[in-house]
Amino acid sequence: MARVGVFVCFCGANIADFVDVPAVTEEAKKIKEVKYAIEYKYMCSDPGQQMIRDAIVQHRLTSVVVAACSPRMHEKTFRKALSDAGMNPYLLEVANIREHSSWVHQKDKKAATEKASDLIRMAVAKSIANEQLHEISVPVTKRALVIGGGIAGIQAALDIADARIPVVLVEKSPSIGGRMAQLDETFPTLDCSQCILTPKMVDVASHPFIELLPYSEVMELDGYVGNYKAKIKRKASYVNFDTCTGCGACWQKCPVKVPNEFNMGIDKRKAIYSPFPQAVPNKPVIDAEHCTMLLKGKCGICAKVCEKGSIDYTMQDEIVEREIGAVVVATGYDLWDPSPYEEYGVGRYKDIITSLEFERMVSANGPTGGVPVRPSDGKVPKRVVFIKCVGSRDEAKGIEYCSKICCMYTAKHAILLHHKVHDSHAYIFYMDIRAAGKGYEEFVKRAQVETGATYLRGRVSKIYKKGENLMVRGEDAQLGQVVEVEADLVVLATAIYPYKDNPDLARLLGISYDKYGYLSEAHPKLRPVETAKAGIYLAGCTQAPKDIPDTVAQASAAAAKVCGLFAGDTLKKDPMISTVNTEFCTGCQNCVTVCPYQAIVTEEIPLGHGSKEMRIVAKVNEGVCQGCGSCVAICRSMAIDLAGFTDMQIINEIVSI
Amino acid sequence: MDYTKQIQDIAGRLFSEGKIDIFIGYRNTGFDENQVPVLIHQYKDVDQLLFTDKSVFNLANYLKYEHTRNKRVGLIVKGCDSRALNLMLTESQVKRENLYIIGIACEGVVNETGEKAQNCVECMMPDAVVYDELLGSATGKREYQVNADIRELDEKTLTDRVEYFEEIFENCIRCNACRHSCPLCYCAKCCIDQETATLFHGANTTSSAFHALMTWSLHLAGRCVDCRNCEKACPIHLPLHLLHKLNEKVIYENFQENLAGMTEGDRGAFYKYSLSDPDDFIL
């Protein structure tokens, strides 16, 4: 006979304000199997846990129901309390009467109380069918995969490698460095971006624990935490990196010119190229889409001038496999396309550029040698209008969120403009100035005072051409009047947006993403670098817009998580896994195809007792199964059951209300 | 459409060459003009076989039973039957090397009143898609279209539709003939018969027949080949195809799939995962 104990939590006021906790406890006492029920202010506190431990012993409980917050919050806490009292921890059921009742039904206390009682009744019914389960140990491969070689990926890779854990760093472009390599100087200290980044890039290349795979992409990720298997495509570079010295003869002589992505298309690069002088590895690759030799079979100049004979036009994409235990995703950000702002004349007027284009222009190694120029006539602009929140915070045309860094980099741009063109003047249209951060507010002040930039609060309604210049019409909300500014150049602070292929990557990795394509963290506050999938972590702007300090901090946090995961020789795994009842299994193998973890294989068993004929049935690999339940749902003959969530337990729950 | 002679010849040849143990075909009932399936074990019985537009049943169904398991079997399949057979092959219920398949490029079969059967009028793939030998000339795949009865059903509100189904399935006597006649209902222990199923029903507000039929139709969603063996088997002539055709429409709208079992290895929309699957529900 089941003897269930019910422990109802007030959660301070969180539950008690909207649910009549004593009434719920009284209601629980009426359930036949409940032998003990009590409420307490904070069940998760030490005295609260002690109540559970004592009751288990005193009332010889066979299972425990805690009615409190989400099991994601404190299931582990209460499981531990059970095992401390000598009870199998999986005999615990959590009834979530906070997120599922008090928080969502704040306007109706009576209904919330009834619902809380129902939730408890269901948990009690389920707990009666609970079985004793035991943790599973699985071995762990101590090697990490870092996807993306921007500052986030670089920092994570270095931190993990410094803990003497091997790292595979995969970067899709020919060089690591990412967006930060494109920046000129960084706020709020104005130190040169490349000067602080390149030493780290060199460290990556020379680190004995880092295997750098540039010009590569992750194609597949199989397995589970501690035991992933990654398939990585090494795109054909047509250059033998082992013999190439990076002398540059090839790209000097290459006759094909292509818009330079690194410089946001402002100038041209060659078909064989290294993206920037400080590139790591500093070896060129051939752009197969534009190389005449690869397209038409004529040219071959780079091969002729290469003294080392490193050019190999026959090179093919290569798939390499790596066994890894954890993944850090740091794929960074793209820019939001501002073309919906038709009234700004985006695309029509050449002298409207994006902030990253401006950044490349003022950069010392940029296409214009560090001086901003007008794309239309190459003149140095004197009056520059910066428009903030292009795309950001605009529900109508753009996106709802704040891109976080635009206030700061626009202030920086005003300062940089003043440094490069002394007699220039910056006009900045803004909605708010968001400068929360160490030294940030001071930095904005510096832009306003030192460079005399004119900050105009209001949105721009129209940009039109007047002669050679642009007229920017906007509102000055503080004066309450329309202002018109004549500008030589307009810079749009376009929003940060995730890469288009982020959702594809997320699906490939089996993690979730939001409506924009940002990868989702497991908990917005308490698990900001983890994903919902064990062993996969996030760093940098792939999760949300961030500035460099935040990105670096998150990358280090992700690295710490990886190191923590690898601290032991085995990983403990929840025993909530599937089992196959071979008697009912028809061997259709639909479960094999739907299993996202490739955890189900087939085996042959005798057709009947003592029979020589064989039949195929499914078999679950314990180490690989994550207990997602896809196979349970797909199995038509109900031959698969999930420990901890058996059909019997779920039916008990449904029948109880 | 009469392939009686060809089929007798082929079956005779297979038996005399010792290639098969059993041949599954059609024979006359002996008391009317209708036909019934027949399992032939020896050469001397092949003259019973015939194939005309009254050969309505899906013979793939007989591959799921004990007496054909691991035997070498010859059988006749029309377009729809062959697709069911393909699914059985995909789901490892039969071994291809044990089968000798006579495919028919079907011109449609007739119902009891002598008219062309409704599913043959609506048929999208009359040719057999898996066979060792094809009789007749193939005409190829036809366009998918949603028929009037299904469109009407789809336009009903959810409550109306439940009411409608409750009403028409009210007469179901739970004889399970539909399940027995379906080649794709091959489970050794059907979920409807398991003890937990009765418990499910305890928590259900619907009638037991409705619940059983809904479960059944969902287990055939994306797999049903519209052979209508179930409707032919149903002793009270329930319009069971409505469930399957409605599922077919929903699947077509979401996954652009309408023909189950066209190729071996294709398990149907519900049993595969593709990057292009709709995911509008992700927040």
Positive or negative: CA dihedral B133, B138, B143, B146: negative
Does residue B142 sit within a domain?
no
Mean of the per-residue pLDDT values of chain A: 93
Confidence of residue B30 (pLDDT cuts 50, 70, 90): confident
SS3 B237: coil
Continuous segment of H or E residues that includes residue A411: helix A406-420
Same domain, B54 and B15: yes
- A26-40, A168-182, A588-602, A631-645: lowest mean pLDDT where? A588-602
Same domain, B126 and B153: no
Does residue B283 sit within a domain?
no
pLDDT digits over A149-159, tens only? Answer: 999 999 999 99
Q: In the Cβ-directed half-sphere of B222, how many Cα atoms lie within 13 Å?
A: 19
Q: How many residue contacts between A and B have a Cβ separation below 8 Å?
A: 64
Q: In the Cβ-directed half-sphere of A254, how many Cα atoms lie within 13 Å?
A: 26
Q: Write down the pLDDT at residue B281.
A: 59
Same domain, B210 and B158: yes
- A464-468, B83-87, B136-140, B192-196: lowest mean pLDDT where? B192-196
Same domain, B131 and B195: no
Report the alpha-carbon distance of residue A459 to residue A471 in Å, rounded: 14
Same domain, B115 and B177: no
Report yes or no: A461 at the B interface, CB cutoff 8 Å: no
Report yes or no: B186 at the A interface, CB cutoff 8 Å: yes
User: Which residues in chain B have their CB less than 8 angstroms from residue A594's CB?
Assistant: 271-273
Same domain, B61 and B123: yes
Q: Write down the pLDDT at residue A369.
A: 87
Domain boundary among B135, B160, B188: B135
Does residue B255 sit within a domain?
yes
Q: At what angle do helices B158-168 and B208-219 cross, to 10 degrees?
A: 110
Same domain, B111 and B163: no
Q: Write down the pLDDT at residue A365.
A: 86
Positive or negative: CA dihedral A189, A192, A198, A199: negative
Continuous segment of H or E residues that includes residue A152: helix A151-162
| CB-based contact A399:A425 (threshold 8 Å) | no
**CA trace torsion A307, A308, A313, A319 (10° rounding):** -160
Distance from CA of A567 to the nearest CA of B (A): 35
Same domain, B109 and B10: yes
Name every residue whose Cβ is closer than 8 Å to that of residue A40 and which is 6 or more positions away in sequence.
A7, A8, A9, A10, A47, A48, A51
- Domains, chain A, with CATH or none: 4-128 (3.40.50), 144-235+317-333+500-565 (3.50.50.60), 249-305 (no CATH), 336-497 (3.50.50.60), 578-656 (3.30.70.20)
Same domain, B8 and B131: yes
Q: How many CB atoms lie within 10 A of CB A304?
A: 11
Nearest CB to B267: which of A513, A587, A590? A590
Q: Using the beta-carbon criterion (under 8 Å), do B189 and A637 form an inter-chain contact?
A: yes
CA A587-B245-B210 angle, to 5 degrees, is: 75
Q: Write down the pLDDT at residue A357.
A: 94
| CB-based contact A589:A618 (threshold 8 Å) | yes
Q: What tokens does B253 get?
A: 């709208």
Q: Write down the pLDDT at residue A534.
A: 86
Which residues form the domain of B203? Answer: 148-271
User: Which residues in chain A have their CB less than 8 angstroms from residue B92's CB?
Assistant: 587-589, 616
Nearest CB to A655: which of B199, B219, B282? B199
Continuous segment of H or E residues that includes residue A210: strand A210-213
Bridging pattern class, strands A4-9 and A63-68? parallel
Phi, psi at A74, each rounded to 5°? -130, 15
Same domain, B65 and B98: yes
Straight-line distance from the first to the last Cα atom of chain B, in angstroms, rounded to the nearest whole number: 55
Could you report the predicted ipTM of this complex, rounded to two decimals? 0.88
Does residue B233 sit within a domain?
yes
What are the helix (H) ranges across A188-306?
193-206, 249-253, 292-296, 301-305
Continuous segment of H or E residues that includes residue A92: strand A92-96
| Number of structural domains chain B divides into | 2
Q: What tokens does A111 get?
A: 């209904």
**CA trace torsion A356, A357, A362, A363 (10° rounding):** 70
Does residue B282 sit within a domain?
no
Does residue B38 sit within a domain?
yes
Report the alpha-carbon distance of residue B168 to residue B240 in Å, rounded: 10
Same domain, B29 and B87: yes
Mean pLDDT of the region B243-268:
89
Phi, psi at B200, each rounded to 5°? -55, -40
User: Which residues in chain B have their CB less than 8 angstroms from residue A507's CB?
Assistant: 275
Same domain, B121 and B170: no
Does residue B246 sit within a domain?
yes
Q: Write down the pLDDT at residue A219.
A: 95
User: Which residues in chain B have their CB less than 8 angstroms from residue A589's CB?
Assistant: 91-92
Does residue B141 sit within a domain?
no
pLDDT digits over A582-620, tens only? Answer: 999 999 999 998 887 778 999 999 887 888 888 899 999
